[in-house]
Amino acid sequence: MKRKKLSLVILSIVLGITLILCYSIAEQLLTVKRKCAIARTGPGSYYPSIAELPEGMNINVLEEKNGWYKIMIDTLTGYVSKKVTEGKTEKEDIFSQMASQEATIRVSQVGLSAGIKGFGEKFSKRLKGDPEFLELALSYQIDPSKYRQFKKATYTYFDINKIQKQIELPPSEIPLFFSFSEEGMGLGIASKISELGVYQNKSVQDYVNYVGHLVVEASDAYDISFKFFILNIPYANAYSCPGGIVFITKGMLENLQSEAELACVLGHEIAHIARYHGMKELEERKVEIIAEDSFMELDEMSDTLFATEEDTTYKDVEAELEDMALSIYDDIFAGRLEEYEDEADELGLLYAARAGYSPYAMQDLLSRMSAEGVTSNNEHYTKDQIVWRKQLIRNFLDSKKFPEGLLRNEQRLKKYLGNL
């Protein structure tokens, strides 16, 4: 009996040591290699942010799943995108990083939102946008548990991981993240677009956001905080703003006949943001205004920049940035450059397909809009442009091989949009 007890004790010790070793092997020490590294309460950009991690900080990685790391810093547990640890830092030596890294992190959703809101208010005022939309955009959040239920129902009989492995995305040198000042600029631009009228129906908006986030998660911009809103106008259109705000019109929703069509339209707008189209047109001008990485520096000096109306220290810079916001708004509202539209069409179809939706649905939508003479207030959904886009999309789809059985989901779209 004693021998048996001793054997059990030894076995328990061995198992304990094994578990400790497995935990130690699983845990990694990685370094944050970019600015605007946001820790969230869960593994997705739709979860609330809880901290901004400074570049150069070391983080304990507990596990990795679907492009997100579960991390622990002191007593804080959260999730960060794998992308924040990729690339290079100025200091390659891990010990020098540890010696010089910042000891604190900026914590709280309120604090992060306040900085973005400060920039947003300034740009909104210059553009004469709707200040109430700023509050709406910052406060809107989907319920993560309800979204997970929606996602589970979507992929119940569907291996989405297998689909995504079969559909590769083209490489990109675009940074795929926005500084807080750029996000604030996008918020200000969105406030101007929102003056067309925001359609507020929570069940419909949540549904659009659920589908939108399925596409976002399948994209290479999965850690950008996207939010989707509905414009209460009869024209068929959609708009995207730097930082992640996307608008789709009620007129466009009324023309959709499947969830796959919705995914393709949203994928197009997500691609504009993922490829930095709104900002890229003015990148050269931005560099002329202030030094490289200036928008990052503006984030750090935002209290000075937007402190009071009398503060003139950065007035010239401020005026230039406000002019940039106005120029970007004009491009978004009137219609982007054709080369950007072509890239967004192709990339958006890949995003939608990786989310499990048939990219051929976009052909159906454009053909129907052309045949029915659907009106739009943007040049890229006019009849002539639709003819051009249909041919481009047909050529692109013919050049690719997509998995069979991708989703259409006509009935679920009718169920949710029956409340329009």
**What pLDDT sits at residue 74?**
77
Q: What is the pLDDT of residues 155-179, one digit of tens each?
A: 999 899 999 999 999 998 776 788 8
Residue that wins the pLDDT comparison between 298 and 60: 60
Residue 198 · residue 136 · CB < 8 Å: yes
Q: What is the pLDDT of residues 76-100, one digit of tens each?
A: 899 999 999 986 544 343 333 333 3
Token pair, residue 316, equals 């010239």
Rounded CA-CA distance 340/342 in Å is 5
pLDDT > 60? residue 134: yes
Listed ranges 122-136, 285-299, 400-414; the one with the highest mean pLDDT:
400-414
The pTM of the full predicted model, rounded to 2 decimals, is 0.84
pLDDT > 90? residue 245: yes
Average pLDDT of every residue of the chain: 81
Local structure of residue 149 (DSSP, 8 states): H
Listed range (90-99, 200-209, 298-307, 363-372) with the worst mean pLDDT:
90-99
**What pLDDT sits at residue 98?**
34
Domains of the chain: 25-107 (2.30.30.40), 110-281+327-417 (no CATH)
Q: What is the pLDDT of residues 211-227, one digit of tens each?
A: 999 999 999 999 999 99
**What pLDDT sits at residue 180?**
82
Listed range (259-268, 312-321, 357-366) with the worst mean pLDDT:
312-321
What percent of the chain has pLDDT above 90? 52
- Which of left, alpha, beta for 289 (phi over 0: left; psi -120 to 50: alpha)? alpha
Residue that wins the pLDDT comparison between 356 and 95: 356
**What pLDDT sits at residue 52?**
86
Rounded CA-CA distance 312/318 in Å is 9
Token pair, residue 299, equals 């984030």
Token pair, residue 233, equals 């106008």
- Confidence band, pLDDT 50/70/90 cuts, at residue 119: confident
Residue that wins the pLDDT comparison between 394 and 323: 394
**What pLDDT sits at residue 130?**
95
pLDDT > 50? residue 310: no
H/E stretch holding 135 reads helix 131-139
Query: Cα torsion at 278, 34, 173, 222 (round to 10°)?
Result: -70
Cα dist from 121 to 155, 170, 293, whole Å:
40, 36, 22
Report the Cα 37 to chain-centroid distance in Å: 14
What percent of the chain has pLDDT above 70? 74
pLDDT > 90? residue 407: yes
Report the Cα 263 to chain-centroid distance in Å: 14
pLDDT > 90? residue 140: yes
Mean pLDDT, residues 65-75 taken together: 89
pLDDT > 50? residue 290: no
